[in-house]
């Protein structure tokens, strides 16, 4: 046992985050995310939502300070009136751990899937909110 590690943190996720280097990306995907958009490495956390996992990850995971947008969200499809309220939760969590917050951008679905396929790691969740997928670019610890 170790101290101060959240009980829901799977050992595989901690190991993968430690292995990642500056610029590597981590995909947090919701329960509807397709397999073709995922990298080979995947940690399953089906019983948790992305907000909870994001809060846990950002305790340890520095966002890249050398890029304008170290966080990528999946943009709402044109013509879809849905407003992703979960993004506000993400922003609040980001401000707890990063001085400038998440500094996110939203990209169209095909672009997000292509970017997701090239991530170092995917965390598959049970998140039910629409447009809840997130990609985080790892920074350096200063």
What pLDDT score was predicted for residue 135? 98
What pLDDT score was predicted for residue 37? 82
Given the residues 15, 22, 118, 128, the one annotated as active site: 22
| pLDDT mean over 78-91 | 97
For the stretch 53-74, pLDDT in tens is 999 999 999 999 999 999 999 9
96 by Cβ neighbours in 10 Å (0-12 / 13-18 / 19+) ranks as exposed
Least confident of 11-20, 33-42, 98-107, 129-138: 33-42
Helix locations, the chain, DSSP H: 11-19, 50-58, 86-97, 109-117
- What are the residue boundaries of the structural domains of the chain, listed by start? 25-137
118 annotated active-site:
no
Q: Has residue 22 got a pLDDT over 90?
A: yes
Q: Has residue 142 got a pLDDT over 80?
A: yes
CATH number of 25-137, picked from 3.30.420.270, 3.20.20.105, 3.30.2010.10, 3.40.1650.10: 3.40.1650.10
- Strand, helix or coil for residue 33: coil
């Amino acid at each position: 046992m170790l101290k101060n590690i959240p009980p829901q943190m799977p050992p595989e996720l901690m190991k993968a985050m430690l292995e990642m280097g500056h610029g590597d990306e981590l995909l947090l995907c919701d329960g509807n995310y397709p397999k073709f958009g995922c990298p080979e490495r995947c940690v399953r956390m089906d019983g948790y939502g992305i907000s909870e996992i994001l809060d846990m990850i950002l305790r340890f995971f520095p966002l890249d300070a050398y890029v304008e947008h170290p966080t990528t969200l999946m943009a709402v499809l044109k013509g879809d009136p849905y407003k992703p309220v979960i993004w506000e939760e993400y922003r609040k969590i980001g401000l707890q751990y990063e001085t400038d917050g998440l500094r996110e951008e939203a990209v169209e679905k095909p672009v997000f899937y292509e970017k997701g396929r090239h991530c170092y790691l995917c965390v598959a969740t049970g998140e039910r909110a629409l447009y809840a997928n997130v990609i985080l670019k790892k920074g350096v610890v200063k």
